[in-house]
Amino acid sequence: MTFTAPAFLPFLVAVLGAAALVGARRRWAVLLLASYGLYAGFGAAPLLLALAAVTGVSFGCALIVETRPDGAARNWILRAGVAGCLGVLVLGKLGAGAGLAAVGVSYFTLQAMAYLFDVRDRVVPAERHLGLYALYLAFFPKLVQGPIERAEALLPQLRAMPRLAPADLAHGGQLFLWGLFQKLVVADRLAPMVDAVYGAPAGKQGTAVVIATYLFAAQLYLDFSGYTDMALGIARMFGLRLTQNFRAPYAATSVADFWRRWHISFSSFLLDYVFRPLQLDLRDLRTLGTPLALLATFLVSGLWHGAAWSFVVWGLLHGVFLATSALTRPWRTRWQRRLGVLGKPPYALFQRVVTFHLVCLGWVFFRAATPAEAARLVGRALSGLPGTLARVARGEDLDALVFLGQVRGACAFALGMLVLAALLRPAVARWVDGTPEVGPSRVFGRPVVLAVLVYLVVFLGATAQSFVYQQF
Amino acid sequence: MRTWSRRLAQLLLFAATLEVAARVDDALTHGASPWSRHGAEVLRFVDGEGIVRNVPGARFEKWRINALGFRGPEVAREPRPGVPRVVCLGQSESFGLYESPGEEWPAQLSRLLQPTHPGLEVINASVVGTGRSTRRAYVERSLLPLRPDVLVLLPSPFNEATETVRPAPPPRPGPAGQPPVLRAPPKLKLRLIGALPAALVERFRAAANARTLRKLEASELHGEPPLDRIPDQAVADHERHLREMVALLRARGVRPVLATYPTLVHPENLGALSHVLDAERIYRVWFSARGLIDAGERLNAATRRVAAGLHVPLADLDAAVPRDRTHFADDVHYTDAGAHVVAEVVAAALAAEVPGATASRSPP
């Protein structure tokens, strides 16, 4: 059951009610039961077994790792635990490739592995309460699609189990509503336009491919960011704070900056547990060490998204961008200083535009069915752009070249909602951060915006499609 | 400002914004005026002669009334030379209630007949909730001037029997002059109902209908039991009315086609579906569930007798439409699939009346 399912709201109300009734001490049990219950709703018994197995293995291994003074023994136990988690992850990926349900496996296995490393490195103590640890891995707001929570961030909150507070309930509810808006009213309304090109790519060229790719960039972001905001909102209702996963990613001025803003919980996991150890291992290669570590890290990132060549190419593409950036940094910095553009707003804008297009190039491979199809689309987008732009300028064939074969009114509505989302995002961020309300416009602006969001979600939201990142 | 008064102001502002949003949405989506009343009642009015009609040009949700006051696409008052014109006259089941837009049976009939009669016009002249008392006047004043070649008549046995037992209810006022009502709350209610599991909604509705029925029985029947059998007079009235209608149409050069009235609930499934009939009985509390079934059986039999006796083509829908939830949304209204079967059977009955008309049968 996803957050957009009609049954989810009664489920959430019931869990909140039960959590309020049992009090803080036993709330972990209610949340754990709810989390396993929700996971069982995906209808695949092996998933529950996998979650329970990863929980048991990582919980046990961490306790042993912590008590062993001998470094070699600790490493062997750690490797055994990580291998167990990786085994479940690989089985999950292969199962997903064969059409089996593997919802959430990528997320809880990563958390379990990170926890084992953290216990070994004494970043966190091993958790001694199996129930709390199980809840840390399975907490239902972030179980299916993240954020990938670090033990040091979430476990202390679960141990302390904060009181349920009306302010948290209100802020969490607003964040949840905002997430629903992003998902149902914007992302799912953009999806048919994207699918019109990527679902039937034959003959699509020039502006059609470019527009569909821009729209896919928006759809993917709002789909994932919408889910994350819903997850953060639900956790907030219980007084718990989850990791923020996005920070205006398309405003990034470099691909490295993009990865500091996109799927932050995952990219920081890659940075800490894959890239840095690799960089250390490859330090003897001097200037080549970091680029090679980046390539390997983003190969892992691609494979984490799925056992398909599209994701491998997408990961490697980002690895190449970052490796090239690392290799050319001294040269680029020198030229930027010479030209006097470093830190200047027009140059930052130029960097943003270039970065956005590099990321979009990656999204073509991410979205297309195969790398070959993606390469053909990129080729046709570039070769067909001058001709199709000229036809658009003459007002010819706009339905195919601009509106992607969709009803113009539906396109206008989707794009209007995209603009509305961009305009409202700063205000929503302020509310959720708890910025004090001052002045009549802020006090009375919020009810108006919330009512508009409620109306749009309830009456004009698309029939929910599954979340894009749920498949990973 | 004190906290409680600020919260109250915010709540009122929230509710007002929802209402404004609903009105803007209706204006953009359905062309409805933000200021006037907007509900299903905008579709009908009672004219100066007490005849219930559709409001020309009215729009509400999926329903569109054309400039002549009929559901469906615009048609010219005068038929085009050489192009046959078929008028369908029924009640809500023919006007279309639960079907997807354009899937009500007259619209499907039009599509079925196009391959053999390109350009043929099918006019859906049905008006919700009408019966015998105003039918003749409606046909004479509004339908015969259209000079149809064929008129398909599908009378509701429930409405006909009710008119014998109780005089026709006083005409309802039209939307003009009625105070505007809030639009957001009913929309929210409908969306909430739509989100609930269908089985749960049906149970709630059945319980609510049963409660309403108990109250109505107490207030309307004054201790008398509802009728298990309709009066013989109702059958005689129905038969006489049909004969008059056939004579009127033939006298004006219009070929009549009669249709029996299909219903979901029959004696064989009454035990399982009695709650479905409760919804129908709310409008006809004088009849028991068995009384309504009796009305359907005996008035349909009368329709068959008239058709046979006067050599009028008959679309025996009561025999043709399967009695299941695939074809019926409630006791008398069709799903898309049910409307398709109705259209096919009517098309077959029309075969002899519209030269060359042969419907291409396809699965519903």
In terms of CA atoms, which chain B residue is nearest residue A437? B6
**Which segment of A93-102, A400-409, B279-288 scores lowest on mean pLDDT?**
A93-102
Digit-coded pLDDT (tens) for B37-57: 777 778 888 888 888 999 998
B11: closest chain A residue by CA: A447
**For B153-163, what is each residue's pLDDT tens digit?**
999 999 999 98
Q: CA of B44: how far to CAs of B38, B63, B283, in Å? A: 12, 11, 18
Q: What is the pLDDT of residues A330-356, one digit of tens each?
A: 898 889 888 888 888 899 999 999 999
Of B18, B184, B195, the CB nearest to A6: B195
pLDDT on residue B323: 94
Give the Å distances, CA to CA, from A90 to A94, A267, B127: 6, 20, 63
CA atoms within 13 A on the CB side of B81: 0
Question: Distance between CA A327 and CA A338 in Å, rounded?
Answer: 19
Nearest Cα to Cα of residue B300 among B101, B126, B158 = B158
The minimum CA-CA distance between B170 and chain A, rounded to whole Å, is 36
SS (H, E, C) A21-81: HHCCCCHHHHHHHHHHHHHHCCCCHHHHHHHHHHHHHHHHHHHHHHHCCCHHHHHHHHHHH
CA distances in angstroms from A383 to A193, A357, A401, B117, listed in the order given = 21, 16, 14, 49
What are B259's strand-pairing partners? B315
pLDDT band at A96 (very low <50, low <70, confident <90, very high): low
Q: Is the pLDDT of residue B359 over 90?
A: no
pLDDT in tens, B75-86: 999 888 888 999
What value does the mean pLDDT of chain A take? 87
> Is the separation of the CB atoms in A449 and A204 below 8 Å?
no
**End-to-end CA separation in angstroms for chain A:** 16
- pLDDT of residue B170 exceeding 70, the answer is no
The percentage of chain A sitting over the pLDDT mark of 90, rounded to a whole number, equals: 49
Q: Residue type for A240, please?
A: L
Tell me how far apart the alpha carbons of residues B205 and B198 are, in angstroms, rounded to a whole number. Answer: 10
Q: How confident is the model at residue B171 (pLDDT cuts 50, 70, 90)?
A: low
Q: Is the peptide bond before B355 cis (omega within 30 degrees of 0)?
A: no
Mean pLDDT, to the nearest integer, of A433-449?
Answer: 74
DSSP A465: P
For residue B174, the model assigns a pLDDT of 52
Q: Give residue B358's pLDDT.
A: 45
Testing the interface with A: which of B5, B6, B13 to mutate, by most A Cβ within 10 A? B13
| Beta strand spans in B90-137 (E) | 121-124
Q: Is the pLDDT of residue A244 over 80?
A: yes
**Residue B324 in tokens:** 């299941």
Q: Do B14 and A6 touch (CB under 8 A)?
A: no
Of A88-102, A242-256, B240-254, B258-272, where does mean pLDDT reach its minimum? Answer: A88-102
Query: Bridge partners of B258?
Result: B153, B314
Determine the pLDDT at residue B169: 58
Chain B hits for A443, Cβ within 8 Å: 6, 10
Cα separation, A70 vs A90, in Å, equals 30
Nearest CA in chain B to A463: B195
Most distant CA pair in chain A: distance in Å?
76
Report how far residue A100's alpha carbon sits from residue B178's, in angstroms, rounded to the nearest whole number.
Answer: 58
Instruction: Please check the confidence at residue B173 and state whether its pLDDT lies above 60.
Output: no
- What is the number of other CB atoms lying within 10 angstroms of the CB of residue A328? 11
Indicate whether A145 pLDDT > 70. Answer: yes
Backbone angles phi, psi at B248, to 5 degrees: -60, -50
Fill in the amino acid letter for A410: A
Comparing A443 with A169, the larger pLDDT belongs to: A169
As a whole-number percent, the residues of chain B with pLDDT over 90 amount to 54
Return the SS3 of B141. Answer: helix
Mention every residue, 6+ apart, whose C-beta is less than 8 A from residue A341: A347
Q: What is the pLDDT of residue A471?
A: 56
Question: How many other CB atoms sit within 10 Å of the CB of residue A320?
Answer: 15
Query: Residue A336 — φ and ψ, nearest 5°?
Result: -65, -40
* Interface size, chain A vs chain B, as Cβ–Cβ contacts under 8 Å: 41
Residue B180 has pLDDT above 70, yes or no: no
DSSP symbol at A125: P
**Residue A445 distance to chain B (closest CA, Å):** 9
Across the interface, which of A6, A447, A451 has its CB nearest the CB of B21? Answer: A451
Banded model confidence at residue A390, pLDDT cuts 50, 70, 90? confident
> CB distance A458–B10 less than 8 Å?
no
Cβ pair B13:A451 closer than 8 A = yes
**What residue of A is the nearest CA neighbor of B189?**
A458
- The alpha helices in B139-263, defined as continuous H runs, are 157-165, 184-195, 198-220, 232-251
The verdict on a CB contact (< 8 Å) between B18 and A450 is no
Whether A94 shows a pLDDT value over 90: the answer reads no
pLDDT at B262 over 90: yes
Q: How do residues A150-194 score in pLDDT, each as one tens digit? A: 999 999 999 998 888 998 998 899 999 999 999 999 999 999 999
